[in-house]
Chain A
Amino acid sequence: MNQLLTEIVAKYNYWLYVVLMMIGFYAMIGKRNLVKKLLGMNIFQTAIILFYVSTGVKRGAKIPIVDKYAALSQGVDPGQIINPLPHVLMLTAIVVSVSVTGVALAILVRIYRRYGTLEEDEILEKIRS
């Protein structure tokens, strides 16, 4: 038990992302309201963004903005700055996630106009009848 606890505390960022991801996953699969599913999808994607960003962090390191001339003359100590690449990757992933959400919301508007509801059960009932 103690060992497990130290494991969790030592890598709490990864545990946090797993928990967030499972919340999102549950909402996507388990919820019957389409907007809640979409929100679940967003939580899921945010969890992955968190995961990536936390991989770039180093203990005691600063943000990766360095003086150009100092860097050119003395070089950069990679231990002193956090890894910026995961952040940059996640900028792209955020763009992707925003576009998917946009398309999904537009489609939800169309669904709502057609069926007058966003509850999956009610929509299926209306399709059947």
Chain B
Amino acid sequence: MTATNLHLYVMAVPLLSAFAVNLFGRRYRAAIGPVAVSALGFSTIAALLTLLRVLQQGGYRYTVGNWQPPYGIELVIDPLSALMLLLISAVALTAAIGALKSTEQELPGREHLFFTLYLILVAGLLGLVMTGDAFNLYVLLEITSITTYGLIAMGGGRAPLASFNYIIMGSIGACFYLLGVGYLYILTGTLNMADIASILPGLESHAAMATAFGFMLVGLWVKMAFFPLHNWLPNAYSLAPTGAGMMIAPLMTKVTVYLMIRVMFSIFSPEYTFFAHSGVQAGIVWVAALAILCASALALAQRNLRRMLTYILVAEVGYMVGGVWLANTTGMTGAVLHIVNDALMTLCLFLAAAAIVYRTGSLEFDKLRGLYRRMPLTMAAFTVGAFSMIGVPPTCGFFSKWYLILGAVEAGHWEFVVALVLSSLINAVLFFRIIEIAYFQKPEQAAAGGLLAGEAPLLLLKPLLVAAVALLAVGIGSGPLVSQVIRLALPSGMVP
């Protein structure tokens, strides 16, 4: 194992251990957890080393199997993708530890299948952030999607139906992306992102370039559930098995936002993205502002904790897309920081929801009464996550929101500022409503559930507390994180 291909091991270890889990998991049930967790732990450490190396020595390109680009598939490890590698592997590791208990309860006898899909999904996500090839990106996107369809369909009740709707929408998204790649291929005759980027300047007048750009972006928006295209997400994510939701919800949308950044800046240039078509940039910021407001309003109407969280997730996608499309460095910094923060916040809240559902079996608001007394640690972590979603300093949610608002002011997009502030207020209402129910209202029948329901098992509680501490740590460390990592991670050529 040499240091040059450390990033490959980040992806290969979860992938190979997925096969091991599938082959031997049925017989050696006790080994599933340790294998999965140690594979993801290895990935996390390797990703951390990769990030440190990239920060010291700068980004690098790696050709798999020594097929030289533009014909071979190239992996690009720059600060942004190294940061994403670390984020994905760390979140997946934390969620996997939490998922051990949830799957044991919800999917008895099917843990090996669950963790097989889980590990392949993580490998797919890790591959997505590294690839420097537009077609390879499509294939990896479908690998992550297919595993996600399977994971969601493992849930009970209406989950298969939700998963089927997701398949239809997800396939439309992927096909649109593929069409966009097709137009680029017709124009340039290559699929390597850097190669396309070097050929494209000068071709701006061709309609095919605008068509490719439009198809790719709309395809990715469907995949990330950007507001008018979000219909599939709330059902799919709230009906998925708890263990799957914990990992899919924090990572899938965030990675797709990262892909959008890649398409906008690594394939097309910032000048083309923002200025070639007048009105597009401002229009998308408007749609993002609308997305934030509508999704927040829809979250208000929910009476189930996990469903409410999924609508907040849709609103957060609006934050990030809007931030990227503000077309200035501050907004972009905010968007990238928010990718990190939102992954951690969603992880924390979904883990808290998993802990609650493990003990009480329900996430309806009425059933949350008196939870602070019964599960004080879980609810403390939940409160940290909620404060971060609202944007209370020193939790990390505050800092990315601050950057986003500054960026919007700088760009003169006041509608985006209004949407951000209003959405914070709505989040405050949403979470204080839950805190009020869980803290002040007495449980209905204290005798029935009160004695049974204590804290969640340690295996579920520990990752939750780690996630909550991470929210505070990332919040307090925001300054160095932005100046030393995210500034470097911004795409080059970004308009200052």
CA distance A96 to B178 in the complex (A): 12
Nearest chain A CB to B179 CB, angstrom units: 6
Question: Are B146 and A99 touching (Cβ within 8 A)?
Answer: yes
**Which residue from chain B places its CB closest to the CB of A83 in the assembled complex?**
B189
Cβ-defined contact, B164 with A107, below 8 A: yes
Q: Which chain B residues lie closer than 8 Å to A99 at the CB level? A: 142, 146
Q: Which residues on the A side are within 8 Å of B139 (C-beta)?
A: 92, 96
Given contacts A45-B171, A104-B164, 9 further A-B contacts (CB under 8 A): A37-B168, A41-B168, A52-B185, A55-B182, A55-B185, A93-B138, A100-B142, A103-B149, A110-B153
Q: Roughly how many angstroms separate A118 CA and B377 CA in the complex, as a whole number?
A: 45
How far is A45 from B172 in the complex, measured between Cα atoms in Å? 9
Q: A38 to chain B: which residues have CB within 8 Å?
A: 168
Asked whether B135 is an interface residue with its Cβ less than 8 Å from the other chain, the reply is yes
Nearest CB to that of A40 among chain B residues? B168
Q: Which residues in B have their C-beta under 8 angstroms from that of A96? A: 138-139, 142, 146, 174
- Find A44's partner among B138, B172, B191 (CB 8 Å cutoff): B172
Q: How far is the CB of B308 from chain A (nearest CB, A)?
A: 20
Nearest-CB distance from A71 to chain B (Å)? Answer: 17
Q: Which residues of A contact B385 (CB under 8 A)?
A: none
Contacts of A127 in B (CB 8 A): 158, 161
Contacts of A114 in B (CB 8 A): 160
Which range contains the number of B residues in contact with the other chain?
Answer: 20 to 34
- Is A22 interfacial (CB 8 A cutoff)? no
| A82 sits at the interface (CB 8 A) | no
With both chains docked as a complex, state the minimum distance between the C-beta of B475 and any C-beta of chain A, in angstroms. Answer: 39
Q: Contact string, A102-120, partner B, CB cutoff 8 A, digits 1/0?
A: 0110111011001000000
30 A-B pairs (CB sep. < 8 Å): A25-B172, A28-B168, A38-B168, A44-B172, A44-B175, A45-B171, A51-B179, A86-B185, A92-B135, A92-B139, A96-B138, A96-B142, A96-B146, A99-B142, A99-B146, A100-B145, A100-B149, A100-B167, A100-B171, A103-B146, A103-B153, A104-B164, A107-B153, A107-B160, A107-B163, A107-B164, A110-B153, A111-B160, A123-B161, A127-B161
Contacts of A45 in B (CB 8 A): 171, 175
Number of interface residues, chain A, beta carbon within 8 A: 29
Interchain CB contact (< 8 A) of A103 among B135, B161, B167, B178: B167
Least CB distance, B170 to chain A, in whole angstroms: 8
Nearest B residue to A89, CB-CB:
B135
B186 lies within 8 A of chain A by Cβ: yes
CB of A107 within 8 A of CB of B142, answer: no
A48 touches B179 (CB 8 A): yes
Residue pair A104, B175 in contact (C-beta under 8 Å): no
Residues B140-183 near A (CB distance < 8 A): 142, 145-146, 149-150, 153, 158, 160-161, 163-164, 167-168, 171-172, 174-175, 178-179, 182
Q: A28-B168, A103-B167 are in contact. Are A48 and B175 (CB under 8 A)?
A: yes
Give Cα A92–Cα B142 distance, bound, in whole angstroms.
11
Interface residue SS majority, chain A: helix
- Nearest residue (CB) in B for A115 is B161
User: Which residue on B lies nearest to A52, using beta carbons?
Assistant: B182
Give the A-binding residues of B (Cβ under 8 A).
135, 138-139, 142, 145-146, 149-150, 153, 158, 160-161, 163-164, 167-168, 171-172, 174-175, 178-179, 182, 185-186, 191
A residues in contact (CB < 8 Å) with B: 25, 28, 34, 37-38, 41, 44-45, 48, 51-52, 55, 86, 89, 92-93, 96, 99-100, 103-104, 106-108, 110-111, 114, 123, 127
Q: How far is the CA of A25 from the CA of B172 in the complex (A)?
A: 8
Shortest CB–CB separation between residue B474 and chain A, in angstroms? Answer: 36
Shortest Cβ distance from B158 into A: residue? A127
Complex Cα spacing A103 to B167, Å? 9
Q: Which residues of A contact B172 (CB under 8 A)?
A: 25, 28, 41, 44
The reply to whether A93 and B163 contact each other, CB–CB distance below 8 Å, is no
A residues less than 8 Å from B182 (CB atoms): 48, 51-52, 55
In order of increasing CB-CB distance, the 3 nearest A-B pairs are A110-B160, A96-B142, A107-B160
Q: Find the A residue at minimum CB distance from B71.
A: A85
Q: How far is the CB of A23 from chain B (nearest CB, A)?
A: 14
CB distance from A115 to the nearest CB of B (A): 8
What's the nearest-Cβ distance from chain B to residue A18, in Å? 10
A69–chain B nearest beta-carbon distance, Å? 22
Distance between Cα atoms of A34 and B162 in the complex (Å): 12
- Identify B146's interface contact among A92, A100, A110, CB under 8 A: A100
A38 to B161, CA, bound (A): 13
Contacts of B191 in A (CB 8 A): 89
**Beta-carbon nearest neighbor of B179 in chain A:** A48
A41 CA to B172 CA, complexed, in Å: 8
Residues of A within 8 A of B185 (CB): 52, 55, 86
Q: Are B135 and A44 in contact (CB under 8 A)?
A: no
Known: A104-B167, A111-B160. A55 touches B186 (CB 8 A): yes
Residues of B within 8 A of A111 (CB): 160-161, 164
The distance from the CB of B222 to the nearest CB of chain A, in whole angstroms, is 12
Contact of A93 among B149, B150, B161, B178 (CB under 8 A): B178
Return chain B residues, CB-CB under 8 Å to A92: 135, 139
What is the minimal beta-carbon distance from B73 to any residue of chain A, in angstroms? Answer: 12
- Complex formed: what's the CA distance from A103 to B171 in Å? 12
Q: Chain A residues near B186 (CB, 8 Å)?
A: 55
Cβ contacts under 8 Å, B160 to chain A: 107, 110-111, 114
If A92-B139, A114-B160 touch, whether A107 touches B149 (CB-CB below 8 Å) is: yes
In the complex, chain B residues whose CB is within 8 Å of the CB of A52: 182, 185
Please give, as numbers and ranges, the residues of chain B lying within 8 Å of A104 by CB-CB distance. Answer: 149, 164, 167
Determine how close the nearest CB of chain B comes to the CB of A82; give it in whole angstroms. Answer: 14
Q: Shortest distance in angstroms between B154's beta carbon and chain A's nearest beta carbon?
A: 10
| Bound CA span A127–B178, Å | 35
